[in-house]
Structure 1
Amino acid sequence: MTLLALDALTVRRGECPVVDAASLRLRAGECVGLIGPNGAGKTSLLRGALGLLPFEGTSSLAQLRPKDRAAQAAWLPQKREIAWPMTVERVVALGRLPYLARGASLSATDQASVNAALTRMGLDSFRSRIATHLSGGEQARVLIARTLAQETPLLIADEPIAGLDPAAQIATLEVFQSLAKDGRTVFTSLHDLSLAARYCSRIIVIHAGRIAGDGPPEDVLTSDMLARVFRLNANIVHTRHGLLIEPLGVLP
């Protein structure tokens, strides 16, 4: 089952294409990592796919009505800020809004989804705390839980583990991996190549706005690709947990 189809998606900044004719298909049960250097077009591709930026080409998500899109895909933007002093539980409950009639309260099903999201992100003991009083990393986990509570077939996340400590990074990616095993799909931009290789079943590389690689980590994360796209000289180690990318230096 295809959950996202992009055909020749192009996003421009002025006349310059920051995403240049990107085409891809995401299927149910995939955890897909989107990687590329800063300025490669990762965020623009994700936002264009959701219809949050003007684009040329086609996106199956952008064609949906906003309410239908919210039931199909949850979105975690790179910029994460909780503006209002609400409890953690209430912030996470915002993920249920696409399913509620105006003015309606949470049903037992909605509350169960909120509880499951809090548990998955290790936030059960935080539910009554004011979200704006938490650390930046803790707030990030709350917002990830909000997307989980939305319980959509597709979760799109822009650098979700940025600012998290190593344990929280691994815990978050383990959650994403478990979602894929349950038949849902995760499409996430990442900068840590080793974590992307370990937790993503598929890697998409974007470079200068164009898709430069797409496939299993061991096929995509090669010395040639790291040199060409990231200007990295790196040692690639095959371990029982997946590839380990050890940067050794920057190429001229």
Structure 2
Amino acid sequence: MSLLTLENLTVLRGQCPVVEAVTLRVVPGECVGLIGPNGAGKTTLMRAALGLLPHRGFSSLARMAQAERARACAWMPQSREIAWPVSVETLIALGRLPHLPRGSRLRADDRRAVEAALAHMGLAAMRSRTATQLSGGEQARVLIARALAQETPLLMADEPIAGLDPAGQIATMQVFSELAATGRAVIVSLHDLGLAARHCTRLILLSAGRLVADGPPRDVLTEEHLREVFGVSAHFEQTANGPVFQPLEVL
């Protein structure tokens, strides 16, 4: 069963393709890392797949009605602005809106989902704090928790670990990989290739809007791809503690 199907997805800026003829499928159990240099088209690809940008080609999510799409995919954009001075718990509970009949209160299943999201992101002790008064890193964790509380089959996150400290970055990627292991799927764009190699089951490499490689990290983070797409060399080793990937120098 496909949770996202793209066929020849293309996004134009004027006559220039920003994303060009991308075809792929994402199925349950995958933690997919979307990688590529700045300007490669990662954000544009995700926004078009969600129907948030005009595009050519086919996206299974974009063709859904808005309410159906909100139950099929949770979306975490790069923007992390929290506009309302509500409690952390209240903000996370907003993730349950796609599942609630209009005007109804949180039910037992909704409260369970909120509690699970608080626990996953280590926010239980902050539940009563005002979200706008948290640090930037703490706010990022709250917004990830809101997406987790949505409990959709697919979660798409655009650079969710940017600005987090190392422990927060690792913990967040562990949450994503654990979600995939339970039968859901995650698509996460990120620049940290080391974390991508360790926690993603699959990498999709974009360059100038084109899909360059798609497969297991070992097959995507090759010497050739690193040189041609990123312009760097790197060390990649499978160790007893899992894969270790370290960029070394600019070529």
Can you list the C-alpha shifts for 1:96-134, whole angstroms capped at 9, x where unaligned?
A: 000112221111111111111001100000100000000
Distance 2:72 2:167 in 1: 29
Can you list the C-alpha shifts for 1:225-251, whole angstroms capped at 9, x where unaligned?
A: 100100112222332333322222212
Match of 1:174 in 2: 174
Displacement, 1:172? 0.5
Matched residue type, 1:37: P
User: SS of 1:174's equivalent?
Assistant: helix
1:70/1:98 contact within 8 Å kept: yes
Matched residue type, 1:73: C
Match of 1:187 in 2: 187
Match of 1:65 in 2: 65
Distance 1:57 1:232 in 2: 33
1:226/1:233 contact within 8 Å kept: yes
Match of 1:92 in 2: 92
Distance 1:13 1:136 in 2: 32
Match of 1:78 in 2: 78
User: SS of 1:164's equivalent?
Assistant: coil
What stretches of structure 1 of length at least 5 have no aligned partner?
none
Distance 2:165 2:213 in 1: 29
Distance 1:94 1:241 in 2: 38
Match of 1:50 in 2: 50
What stretches of structure 2 of length at least 5 have no aligned partner?
none
Q: CA RMSD in A?
A: 0.8
Distance 1:240 1:185 in 2: 26
Q: 1:241 to 1:18 in 2, by over 3 A?
A: farther
Aligned length: 251
Aligned-pair identity (%): 63
1:223/1:236 contact within 8 Å kept: no
1:227/1:233 contact within 8 Å kept: yes
Distance 1:236 1:108 in 2: 46
- Structure 1 position 226 matched with structure 2 position 230: no
User: SS of 1:2's equivalent?
Assistant: coil
Match of 1:8 in 2: 8
1:155/1:186 contact within 8 Å kept: yes
Distance 2:204 2:244 in 1: 17
Instruction: Give the TM-score taking structure 1 as reference length.
Output: 0.98
Can you list the C-alpha shifts for 1:76-112, whole angstroms capped at 9, x where unaligned?
A: 0011110110000000000000011222111111111
User: SS of 2:34's equivalent?
Assistant: strand
1:205/1:214 contact within 8 Å kept: yes
Match of 2:26 in 1: 26
Matched residue type, 1:110: D
User: SS of 1:98's equivalent?
Assistant: helix
Matched residue type, 1:21: A
